[in-house]
Chains A and B, each alone.
Chain A
């Protein structure tokens, strides 16, 4: 309790405690990332492009697109985990940011159709159908890929920033914030359903022909989009892991657990929340932009509340607050969904509900939590 008893060696021994958490990934984590990169960037392209059609090793374009799509979902799941698992902000509207990213790249893809549409017009088919004579002002420059790529980041980013600024400044949290995010995506969906919004109404954008001059349905293009999605996922994982192991991550987690104490420690929680919230939205936007060229369509149903809720279920199933978990969750739930939609589509929503209830009751820490328990509670 006083000067003479202070053991300074204890001070130096304590240094280790600070370093424990600074490690980016464990050796196991790096190995998993290495394997994932090899699979994504080497094995899958070889299987899709080199392995002859009909051989057991050949990856069909269906399978390629399915997995590529799930990779995009996994990116969203990681982004959602960043705000929900680490900052305690349960967003039920992340589908909006995903869809906005998709619409932003969709504008470019529509322009890239050129005169190959049904009406052979300068304008996209839906504008011809509405008897519009010229592009609305907000379609300006969308024939440039890089401008649209910028929109992919800016539109979700600015919307999330403005929304977050007012929500966090008004200290809206918990269920209230969740409901508002849900309302936001629902309102956006209604807006995009309208034909005169200028984004194709309920049909959205489809019938894409090419991206950056490449045929969008060619196997090579699909592989390229797949590899890009996979590497983006790996990059997002590393970025998020870097953030949550930094001091910023510890502050953000502290905000989740005891926001008032964070304030009385001299941190401004608004700024921290706004940062992770906006980053998360931008990541979702990028995922949407990778998704749309692969599935070939974007329409307002992507903004349906159900889609955003599904994202939450991926995170919960995989294990929130783990970053790796949501990736696993996105794969498990979506592969199950693919199987179900083939054999019994009408039961899918029941099954989804059952997953959510089951996970909540029996796997509060998700699939990752299950493995941790098996390993005797050690942190993975």
Chain B
């Protein structure tokens, strides 16, 4: 799944669905470098993410305890660039804590968390980790309910996010095209003027994913994306993830086994804060320990 390094002048592979010739030429002249690059002067170290050893996200020996309870216990996990990984596990297995550690919300007591070969995520806070290219979707859909769909995407859009830059910020036309392309990817092109708070649950879930896409992240973390969705909405989301596969590294935490069967390549089973098993869904299902703690019941 490793991605060949792209020359700096290569156009970004924007969201799937955007024809290469529309707006993208403007994108390259708009101050963006190749994938993983950042806008000039933005808050991130400009070296980008080094995935020369194919691994993009790497956790080793991560331990987090809350009042003596070990939410994560010597957790080690590595995601290859471009892979789609499903993480399953019973309640309290540490799935959400793991995402908190990756996104900078929780500092691990010990262990290493690296983005690519060089970026130590434990040394950064949430906004800078987000700017470096890790997008996170919460379990409960979290969008800006008093803003329109369009404004939600405008705010999420990869851009210079320092406060003084935002006072006079106006969208350039290639950025508007970018928002339009995300809108069509998530199927909300007809709802641009609606307040996000008025959307249905499934639409909010898709809008939130759209907001992640607008950030153009290298890694997408999705926490129970189909929770509370109808079968139809779940199928739509599976289709959406299929179009994103290979373009982003995706980690999905999910309970819905049908959904996992639909999308999974490789499954990691968490239990009591560490990895119990890893493999294809069938391999994992065949693992006796896994059956014992999780699947068999």
Contacts and interface: CB of A to CB of B under 8 A. Distances in A.
Contacts of A11: 176-177, 179-181
Given A243-B167, A268-B127, A8 B154 contact: no
A18 B176 contact: yes
B171 interface: yes
Given A257-B145, A264-B135, A250 B161 contact: no
A265 B161 contact: yes
Contacts of B43: 268
A14 B103 CA distance: 32
A2 B150 CA distance: 20
Contacts, number: 140
Interface residues of B, number: 55
A120 interface: no
A266 interface: yes
Q: How large is the interface on A (under 10, 10 to 19, 20 to 34, 35 or more residues)?
A: 35 or more
Contacts of B187: 1
A260 B138 contact: yes
B167 A18 contact: no
Interface string B159-177: 0011100111101000011
Contacts of B163: 248, 251, 267-268, 271-272, 275
Contacts of B167: 243, 246-248
Among B18, B144, B148, the most chain A Cβ lie within 10 Å of the Cβ of B144
Q: Top 7 A-B pairs ranked by shortest CB distance?
A: A11-B180, A266-B130, A266-B131, A263-B126, A247-B169, A248-B166, A17-B150
17 contacts: A3-B17, A3-B18, A6-B17, A6-B19, A8-B177, A10-B184, A21-B151, A250-B154, A260-B138, A261-B211, A263-B130, A265-B211, A266-B127, A266-B215, A268-B43, A268-B127, A268-B163
Given A14-B189, A251-B166, A271-B163, 19 more contacts: A1-B17, A6-B184, A8-B22, A10-B183, A11-B176, A11-B180, A14-B179, A18-B150, A250-B151, A257-B145, A257-B146, A258-B144, A258-B145, A260-B105, A261-B211, A262-B155, A263-B127, A266-B131, A267-B155
Interface of B: 16-19, 22, 43, 103, 105, 125-128, 130-131, 135-136, 138, 142-148, 150-151, 154-156, 158, 161-163, 166-169, 171, 176-177, 179-181, 183-185, 187, 189, 192-193, 211, 215, 239-240, 243
